[in-house]
Amino acid sequence: MANLSAKGWSWGEYQINEGELQFLVDKKPCFNLNFKDIITCSVPGKNEVAFEFQQKDTNDDDTLCEMRIFIPETDSCEGLAKELSERSENKASTVDALVSLYDLPMIVPRGKYSLDMFQSFMRLHGKTHNYKIIYKNVTRAFLLPKPDGIHIAMVIALDSPIRQGNTVYPFIVVQFSKDSHESTTLNMPIEEIKRSFGEELTQTLEGKSFDIMSKLLKAMVKTMIIVPGNFKSKNDTSAIKCSVKASEGYLYPLQKSFIFINKPVIYIKFEDIRYIEFARIGEESVATNRSFDINICTKNGNFQFTGVDREEYQIMLEFLHKKKIQVRNVEEEPKEAESSDDNLNIEDENDSDDESFNASDLD
């Protein structure tokens, strides 16, 4: 057994060995970090290097999620992060990927990223940041046509957010052009593709980019793809334009939830809503305001969506009454929707998020 340092110092030196990063205190080994346990390595501060570690699928014990070390020389921080990224076993070459997509236009986090998909995880890599996402960390995905008629946003929800310095991203947003096409080939024998994915995937995939991405997520990640239901705004789109603080975006009323994009992404399940409040909608406000606000009060906090076109009011009101969600106006006493008993627990064959989609359905 190596003669380990037991001095308890919080400073020392490091050296990079084959397959591990070793920390030394007074020239003696203190502890090692195995490259295969490191998901990402980044430089969140001027003199800091952050390591994010792989988490086991099932672990009831306390585990180390992240570690940061301070290095006085800024250049050494960049050099260490770069070298570890190159040496890490998790930085498998693209040849090992089962399928790759290139130059994905990402909104959250912003930039163009390439996507490599493996058996149990996918890897996003851009010019300055790389992310590894375990498939079991993906909870659901949304395919949302934007009201401009040109773009379609794919939102991927994560159980544990990815990090970029001090910023966390619980959602990933990719924006596809509706007319963009993709052609890619799976790096697997045909027999293995049929055995693993049945009829969901073929060795060569061709079609619209968002459709290819959706098929890969459904088959490989085994996640549901949620698309808008029957809601239509005054402009016959699936979303209404509004703002969250200073950020303009779109609020999508889905079958069992609301989702707001682009930044910040806000996802609200109907079952978590206590009531919804309309502000600036009374008779006194009609003459002076062409818009109103929607306040959603949930079990976990309140969310305010401002600047909604007044013509959307009746449409939203009818939608909420249909979903048996309690509604009230700020100027009035609270009113509950009809048949408010067992609110939010009513499901029928038509009241479920649509998991099976067609590219043509979103054209």
Whether 361 maps to a domain, the answer reads no
- For residue 344, name the pLDDT band (cuts at 50, 70, 90): very low
Lowest mean pLDDT among 143-147, 160-164, 190-194: 160-164
Distant-in-sequence, close-in-space partners of 95: CB < 8 Å, separation ≥ 6 = 187
Taking each continuous run of H as one helix and of E as one strand, the counts in the chain are 5, 24
Output the pLDDT for position 340.
36
Count of domains observed in the chain: 3
Please say which residue of 188, 204, 227 terminates a domain. Answer: 227
Does 222 lie in the same domain as 169? yes
Mean pLDDT of 235-241: 95
Mean pLDDT of 193-221: 93
- For residue 17, name the pLDDT band (cuts at 50, 70, 90): confident
Whether 336 maps to a domain, the answer reads no
Does the structure show a pLDDT above 90 at 173?
yes
Residue 291 to residue 172: CA distance in whole angstroms: 30
Mean pLDDT of 19-31: 87
Does 82 lie in the same domain as 129? no
Within 10 angstroms of residue 9's Cβ, the number of other Cβ atoms is 10
Does 195 lie in the same domain as 99? yes
The 28-34 sheet, strands edge to edge = 13-17, 20-25, 28-34
Does 218 lie in the same domain as 115? yes
Residue 241 to residue 239: CA distance in whole angstroms: 7
Question: Residue 117 sits in which domain range?
Answer: 94-227
Does the structure show a pLDDT above 60 at 217?
yes
Does 129 lie in the same domain as 217? yes
Percent of the chain whose predicted confidence (pLDDT) is above 70:
83
Mean pLDDT of 51-75: 74
Does 80 lie in the same domain as 103? no
Output the pLDDT for position 278.
92
- For residue 288, name the pLDDT band (cuts at 50, 70, 90): low
Lowest mean pLDDT among 87-91, 122-126, 228-232, 244-248: 87-91
Output the pLDDT for position 346.
30
Within 10 angstroms of residue 186's Cβ, the number of other Cβ atoms is 23
- For residue 331, name the pLDDT band (cuts at 50, 70, 90): low
Output the pLDDT for position 112.
92
Whether 177 maps to a domain, the answer reads yes
Does 222 lie in the same domain as 192? yes
Does the structure show a pLDDT above 80 at 90?
no
- For residue 349, name the pLDDT band (cuts at 50, 70, 90): very low
Tokens of 136: 């079991």
- Could you report how far apart the first and last alpha carbons of the chain are, in Å? 65
**What average pLDDT does the chain have?**
83
